[in-house]
Structure 1
Amino acid sequence: MPFDAYDGVKLGFKLVADIFFREIKVSGTHNIPKDDPCIFIVAPHANQFVDPGMVIISNPRRFSPLMAQSSFKRKVIGEAARALNAIPVIRPQDLATKGSGKLLSCRDNKILCGVDTEFKQRVGPRDLIVLSKTLQFEVVKVLSDTELELKSDLSSEAIEMISNGAAYKIIPHIDQSVLYEKVHERLDKGESLVIFPEGGSHDRSEMLPLKAGFAIMALSAMAQNRNLNVKIVPVGLNYFHPHRFRSRAVVSYGVPITIEPELVEKYAKGGLEKREAISSLLDYGYDGLKSVTINAPSYDVLMIIATARRLYKPASEHKLRIDQVVELNRRFLLGYKYFEKDERLVDLAQRIKAYNNTLKYFGLRDHQVARTQTTMYSAAPILLSRILKLVFLAIFGFPSVLINSPLIILTLFISQKKQEEALAGSTVKIAARDVLATWKILVAMVGIPTLYGFYSFLLFLYLWQHEYNYAFSLSLLVWAVLPFIQYICGLVLENSIDIYRSLRPLFLSLSNPDGAAELRIMRENLSDIITKFVDENGSTAIKDFDISKFDKMELKEQIKTRSILPQVNVSAFSIQKWFDDRQLFNLGGSSSDDSESE
């Protein structure tokens, strides 16, 4: 197949992802059907426009993503959507309009009254009347220009809000029949779709309730064409720090969900049986996504799970790959939910919290505790050598910070501004961190060539005024080469940060050896307790529990064997390895192995 626009977008996403993320692992691609039409359901939607890119670069099959029609209007995103042959989805909230007049309550709580509201001209059945982010009511019938019949009673909060007259918005009901026609057409051709069933992106620690769209699409397509065999493939996006530069990510493909003919028959009958079929497929989809994602009820629980997993001693001591880290976290979470009210686990959770608080007191991370065991005589020369290495790298890295400071400031300003806007307009976001990575990348994509072009223009003016030969050619060359130089400088800074983080346990070894020893004892005791509890009770919560599971696992899919494009014989891992700071500078003594993911 010749290189086309789809491959161009895939290559672009791959290059951006390899720069933004320090490591990306892909697992379970052997689960993806080779021929059957598929609907890939992806969750959690934690990184706005970055998430579709992660699926594109990891998925061996081509697909059409479903994207909000409003996204097609964005310059960069819109071009990418058209190149991917995306299907536009009209979201009712994008068409919200401000209502005229003011709302008032009536004696009947299912009747909404207003003054100067023009309901007959502006509102229709099934439209939503929105009072706030959490208060919205569906219209059953328009009685007059000043009265609406609602599907449900007004809540006490809504009545209080409109008692003295309240402003409102109108969200129109959208007929999605055109969307379903396009979906059926693609599936009939054996093509695949990607959908984020949670709806919008969010930054919660667990999945949002799934919307029924993917279930209706699959069932309606199979009811219309009985020869179709649509598969639902769950895809889990597991980020360790989704909004941070140079973090890590795992993309996991789950076992395909086969849609039983009985469900299709029930859907085709309509009515209650149709709703039951949709509900059943929704449940299957949710269970499938739970098998490839980590769903903690809160970030506090997630911290407890992560710490317990780090302290757990497997049957064979070895460093886990990040995809194994995700799987082990998921299993620990299943065990946590099973024993949540068990007094032993409650006590263990309190011990873990105390340990985490002690780490904060010393300013350490868990993986640094073992390094405090260095003796005073051996710690001093290591500390000195790393400080010298840090100074050396900082000398080379500081100019990069200075050169890129306008872009860094602009990126932080715009991403934080978009974060505030997203938080103000959402009912599900906690801090709206899900938009940060997207806007950092978008600003950088526009800002880098612009900033470096400005520097090259200044160089051209200088050379031209001093009558240097080839002033334009040299300036153009600098503009083309500067991004690569700055990328290398960025890796130097990344390595410098790793070295800086490795200094604290050395300082603790020298300044407070007794405190460091007590911390190591505390960690070892807690590790023994966790390991004993898991080994004794794991089989109760998890059917396939095996203390040697991760020692027996074979790496079936590795990102280093996956080419960016099938016809280009260069692996993404090779490109990343060429620019790896350890390969460039041979800094084996740094702490680059220290992963915030663990």
Structure 2
Amino acid sequence: MAKKLFIPPLIGWLYDLILWTFSVLIDLFFREVHPRGSWKVPRRGPMIIVAAPHANQFVDSLILMRVIRTEVHRRISWLIAAKSFDRKFIGLLAKGIGAVPVARAMDNMKLSEGAVYLPDPIHEPTLLRGIGTKFDGPEFEPEGTIALPTVNGTSHSATIAEIRGPEELLLKKPFRGRDPLYQLTGRTDITDDGKFAGDTAHQDLSGFKGSKFKVAPHVNQTAVYEAVFARLNMGGCIGIFPEGGSHDRPDLLPLKAGVAIMALGSLAENSNSGLKIVPCGMNYFHAHKFRSRAVVEFGNPIEVPVELVEQYKRGERREAVSALLDTIYHALLAVTVTGPDYETLMVIQAARRLYNSKGKKLPLPMVVELNRRLVKGYTHFKDDPRIVKLKNSVADYNKQLRLLGVGDHQVDYAKFSIIQVFFTLIYRLIKLTVMSIGTLPGLILFAPVFVATKVISNKKSKEALAASTVKLQGRDVMATWKLLVALAFAPAVYAFYTIIFTYWTYRNRIQGIVPEWVPLWLIVLIGVALFPSITFAALRVGEVGMDILKSLRPLVLSLNPSSANTLVKLRKRRAELSREVTDVINTLGPELFPDFDSSRIVVDPFRELNPHREADGERLHKLRRSSTGYSDEESALPRNESFHDLANIGFFSTRPSSRSRSRSNSSGGHAGSGGFPLKAFSQLNSKDSFDKVSKKIRDAMRERGQERRRRSEDFSWDMASSGSRTPSTAEEDKKDR
């Protein structure tokens, strides 16, 4: 019988207190966290939130907890690895927020003696034999896991079906793919999809001695599922990262079956509960770096089909779980930006900047959406010769940028005159000097914390990388450890400063500066508020200063005769690439997106504009200004872009737009309304008459569609370019994300 699992209760005030404490650190670590689509999340009833990619270990949970608490006013019960639950500090916090501990096979992996191989991978692909192994030992059991050494950042594993002896067992499913089959056979004639192209007659396998392996016992999750069912039956919200663990890959890992079993099992017990599965995309820009940005996007809730629940009840669980996992996976793809590899993702981001050749500032959610559409387009057309040629050209352009040490947005400096470059450089040097002086006190005070977080996070990253089978560089744990170290170390450092400050006052009244009537308890309060304030002020000033510092290199290159010409050539190359990218997107885009023109994010900068339409557009802008009370400089977006909630901005609101703006509005024949100006009916007394009327209708609809698209593009630009920007945010938003 499964051991009864103790689940700490979710105590509301304790949950909120822990969340508030860490929210302060989230605000310090991230420059912006934008929620998108949170209006789609149910306000009540049982719900499972599936979030991916899991790129930031415990930080992902904190960010999502904050967004859900702020936007939806709900609390999340997270499923957390039992390994983390057993840690002192992390375990204490997990119990405080009512998390559910889950034992994972990967946490119990141990290196086993001997080696394994596949004796007949073609006719008996599930038969696994050992050399010097003890499969009949206590650590081996049916439903246990066999894992191979990590190759190319991935460790492949399989489940044990039957143990036949000390050196022979059967697997439930065969190993798939080139890497695991090479490890288990030593053969080199293996295709990417795991097929053998030749035979062993022409290969020398005398040196093959099998592969080392790890083993983990079967983990009984019955108690976990029962606890989750109980929480869902009470109308609770369960949070889970279905990839099974954090990682730093550019694509999603295969989803674990647990989330599907939880949903189907819960509905099998209570089919009328109204359970929803909400996909959530965690989209970061340099997730491990200090003062980075994030967009948390929610997709449409998934209602589990009744047919799958019935199939699950009939005992066809594998089929039902597989079908639901496939639905969840595709729902996650719709709210995340993933790529086949890091280089391709960098090429796609560069293409996004080249497509937005006018340099208009796009709000962060629009950047994520444009990246997603480009990834989808690349995946669909990746074998097209035009895409292959364009990818190589953009990759070469990225390489030139790296060699010069400049950003894409800084290439435009090449068009400045020498005088303009010189005075811009002098002005920024003076500004940087002043900011450095203002930043210095806070930098000195915060230096011990900064050094400690850097050293410890790097150490933990290396440890996590060595212990993982899926991580590439271990960056997914860096942000977590930076926050944890700062949370523990910063208060101690500031307490030490306050003690020194108070003692100095007690000793000689800070060289006689502090009057005798000032009590020491007031000095303590001043110290508690003063030192963190100095650090925070230095943080904000230093943020702008770093942006200015990064902008100096292209200015210096522009003054250097040997490199200035290179920069000029690079600018011309960028203009050519921009046109190529735009042409390819405008050609292939409509094939993939039927509403390509009407739902544009970025207007085509190379389209021929009609003077009459420009005049109409100007009248439309005037009409909009008169109706909203905003000028061009004060339109939709607030002046300060570093706000926490974009829900009030209709363009990418987390709430649905007003029904009064529906395209089906039949208010009459006014421009832009849903109604048509009515005229007398034509007589349809012949085929020719019918064809003429049909042609007129098609022409009228085409003209209205073009007008609507033009207005949508103009409005998008008006929305994206409004609001003032500080120099720091303007520079930062143009950088490669």
User: TM-score when scaled to structure 2?
Assistant: 0.70
Separation in structure 2 between the aligned mates of residue 533 and residue 83 of structure 1, nearest angstrom = 53
Cα distance in 2, alignment partners of residues 594 and 369 from structure 1: 14
1:309 aligns with 2:358: no
Deviation at 1:288, TM superposition (A): 0.3
Residues 195-232 of structure 1, C-alpha deviation per residue, up to 9 Å, x if partnerless?
Answer: 10001111111001111111111111111112122111
Per-residue CA deviations over 1:82-140 (Å, capped at 9, x if unaligned) read 232111111233344576xx44779986455758x695555433233556454756444
Counterpart AA for 1:16: L
Of 542, 560, 575 in structure 1, the residue corresponding to residue 645 of structure 2 is 560
Partner of 1:566: none
Query: Superposed, which structure 2 residues align to 1:67-82 within 5 Å?
Result: 67-82=80-95
Give the structure 2 partner of residue 477 of structure 1.
526
Measure the CA separation in 2 of the matches of 1:535 and 1:298. Answer: 25
Look up the match of 2:692.
none
Distance 1:107 1:72 in 2: 38
Contact map agreement 2:248 2:472 (CA 8 A) in 1: yes
Please give the per-residue CA displacement for 1:411-440, whole angstroms capped at 9, x wherever unaligned. 111111111111111121111111111111
> CA offset at residue 156 of structure 1?
7.5
Aligned-residue offset at 1:371: 3.3
Is the Cα contact below 8 Å between 1:103 and 1:112 reproduced in 2?
A: yes
**Gap regions ≥5 residues in structure 2:** 1-10, 120-126, 176-180, 187-206, 511-515, 604-635, 638-642, 649-723
How high is the sequence identity, in percent, across the aligned residues?
A: 38
2:384 maps to which of 332, 336, 342: 342
Cα–Cα, structure 1 residues 516 and 122, in superposed 2: closer, same or farther, change >3 Å?
closer
Aligned to 2:441: 399
Which of 142, 146, 151 pairs up with 1:125? Answer: 142
Q: 1:389 maps to which residue?
A: 431
Structure 1 segment 114-263 matched on structure 2, within 5 A = 119=136, 121-129=138-146, 132-133=149-150, 134=155, 138-140=159-161, 149-151=169-171, 157=183, 170-263=215-308
Unaligned runs of 5+ in 1: 564-585
Contact 1:448/1:483 (8 A) holds in 2: no
The 2-side partners of 1:236 and 1:331 are apart by 15
Shift of 1:142: 5.9
AA of the residue aligned to 2:142: P
Q: 1:4, CA displacement in angstroms?
A: 1.2
Q: How does 1:420-439 map to 2 (within 5 A)?
A: 420-439=462-481
How far the C-alpha of 1:238 sits from its partner, in A, is: 0.5
Q: What is the CA distance between 1:479 and its match in structure 2?
A: 3.4
Moved more, 318-327 or 82-91: 82-91
Letter in 2 for 1:53: L
Q: Does 1:535 align with 2:620?
A: no
CA distance in 2, matches of 1:292, 1:249: 13
Amino acid at match of 2:34: K
1:174-205 CA-to-partner distances (Å, cap 9, x unmatched) read 11111111111111122111110001111111
Structure 2 partner of 1:11:
20
SS of residue in 1 equivalent to 2:33: strand
Question: 1 CA distance for matches of 2:523 and 2:725?
Answer: 33
State whether structure 2 residue 59 is matched by structure 1 residue 50.
yes
Q: CA deviation at 1:550?
A: 2.6
The two structures have a TM-score, normalised by structure 1, of 0.86
Q: Given the alignment of the two structures, is residue 495 of structure 1 paired with residue 540 of structure 2, yes or no?
A: no
Aligned equivalents of 1:481 and 1:501: distance in 2? 30
Structure 1 pair 172–392 and aligned structure 2 pair: CA distance change class (3 A)? same
Is 1:281 paired with 2:294? no
- Preserved contact between residue 373 and residue 516 of structure 1 (Cα < 8 Å): no
Cα distance in 2, alignment partners of residues 122 and 523 from structure 1:
60
Q: Distance in 2 between matches of 1:183 and 1:309?
A: 42
1:581 matched to which residue of 2? none
Q: 8 Å contact 1:502–1:591 — kept in the other structure? A: no
Helix, strand or coil for the counterpart of 1:320?
coil
Q: Is the Cα–Cα contact under 8 Å of residues 184 and 211 in structure 2 kept in the other structure? A: no
Are the aligned partners of 1:334 and 1:542 in contact in 2 as well (CA < 8 Å)?
Answer: no
- Kindly tell me: are residues 179 and 398 of structure 1, through their superposed partners in 2, closer, same or farther at Cα, counting changes over 3 Å? same
- Matches of 2:208 and 2:580 in 1, distance apart? 59
RMSD: 3.3
Whether the 8 Å contact between 1:293 and 1:330 is mirrored in structure 2 is yes
Shift of 1:45: 0.4
1:522, 1:165 → 2: CA distance? 52
Change (3 A) 1:110 1:353: closer
| Aligned partner (choices 422, 446, 449) of residue 380 of structure 1 | 422
